């Protein structure tokens, strides 16, 4: 369920996804979602942390960072400015990027990935 939520959050901004979208996409009841995660934000944070741990960090370690960055990018620009917990997660992973590569390489990679999301 968390992986499916992460995929949905990677496709659209946080505010572009309603609880109904989550319920329909995940195939769960609204009450179940709230009992398990407390709120849409709770599910978002769980999905973001899963994404960073299960997708981004392994890709960073293996040098295959061309995939799995959409959710990270959306979180960085959409939620991190207003949500301190998201900002902490993004700051920590970007520090790991900088350590594994360099700040300039991190900026270049993320900039290229951001450009690739734009319609052509």
The pTM of the full predicted model, rounded to 2 decimals, is: 0.93
What are the pLDDT digits (tens) for 6-30? 999 999 989 999 999 999 999 999 9
At 120, is the pLDDT very low, low, confident or very high (cuts 50, 70, 90)? confident
* 41-97: pLDDT as tens digits: 999 999 999 999 999 999 999 988 878 899 999 999 999 999 999 999 999 999 999
Phi (first) and psi of residue 101, to 5 degrees: -120, -100
pLDDT of residue 67: 81
2, 12, 18, 31 from 93: Cα distances, Å: 19, 21, 27, 32
pLDDT for 59 equals 93
Which residues are within 8 A (CB) of 87 and not within 5 positions of it... i.e. 6 or more apart?
80, 81
Full domain range(s) for residue 84: 2-116
Domain total of the chain: 1
pLDDT more than 70, % of the chain: 100
């Amino acid at each position: 369920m968390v992986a499916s939520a992460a995929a949905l959050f990677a496709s659209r901004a946080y505010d572009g996804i309603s609880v109904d979208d989550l319920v329909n996409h995940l195939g769960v009841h609204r009450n179940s979602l709230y009992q398990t995660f407390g709120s849409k934000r709770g599910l978002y944070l769980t999905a973001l942390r899963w994404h960073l741990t299960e997708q981004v960090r392994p890709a960073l370690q293996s040098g295959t960072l061309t995939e799995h960055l959409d959710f990270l990018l959306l979180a960085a620009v959409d939620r991190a400015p207003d949500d301190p917990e998201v900002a902490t997660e993004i700051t920590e992973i970007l520090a790991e990027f900088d350590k594994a590569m360099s700040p300039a390489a991190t900026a270049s990679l993320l900039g290229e990935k951001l450009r690739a999301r734009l319609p052509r």
